[in-house]
């Protein structure tokens, strides 16, 4: 998305801290952007959400994957250059939307 970011992170250990991960992601990408381009990357007022155990990760992934289509950035999700996952294959992500 050109004006916002959706990321879905999954902890792999009981000691994983999703909120800390998100904060570090924003900090590191913000610093890299400032060094490369100058200016701010992230606006004030963001929304972090932690999934509950009973919530389906693939349902959230489905929402994220379908977002560029809803926004009119593409008509076929295969054409969107920023689609990817380390957990689900592209075919699984696409299959979840169709």
19 with 39, same domain: the answer is yes
pLDDT grade for 85, boundaries at 50, 70 and 90:
confident
- Phi and psi at 13, nearest 5°, equal -140, 155
pLDDT in tens, 5-39: 888 888 889 999 988 988 899 999 999 999 999 99
57 with 68, same domain: the answer is yes
List all residues 6 or more positions away from 29 whose beta carbon is below 8 Å from its beta carbon.
41, 42
pLDDT value, residue 61: 83
Reference 33, options 10, 61, 5, 67; nearest CA is 5
Reference 97, options 74, 69, 71; nearest CA is 69
57 with 97, same domain: the answer is yes
Give the number of domains in the chain. Answer: 2
For the segment 48-65, the average pLDDT, to the nearest whole number, is 81
What pTM did the predictor assign? 0.70
Angle of helix 90-97 relative to helix 57-70, nearest 10 degrees, comes to 80
Reference 4, options 50, 38, 33, 42; nearest CA is 42
24 with 55, same domain: the answer is no
């Amino acid at each position: 998305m050109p004006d916002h970011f959706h990321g879905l992170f999954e902890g792999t250990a009981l000691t994983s801290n999703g909120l800390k991960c998100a904060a570090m992601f924003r900090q590191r990408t913000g610093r890299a952007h400032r060094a490369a381009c100058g200016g701010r990357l992230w606006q004030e007022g963001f929304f972090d959400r932690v999934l509950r155990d009973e919530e389906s990760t693939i349902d959230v992934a489905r929402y994220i994957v379908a977002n560029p289509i809803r926004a009119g950035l593409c008509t076929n999700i295969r054409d969107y250059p920023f689609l990817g996952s380390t957990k689900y294959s592209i075919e699984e992500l696409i299959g979840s939307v169709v």
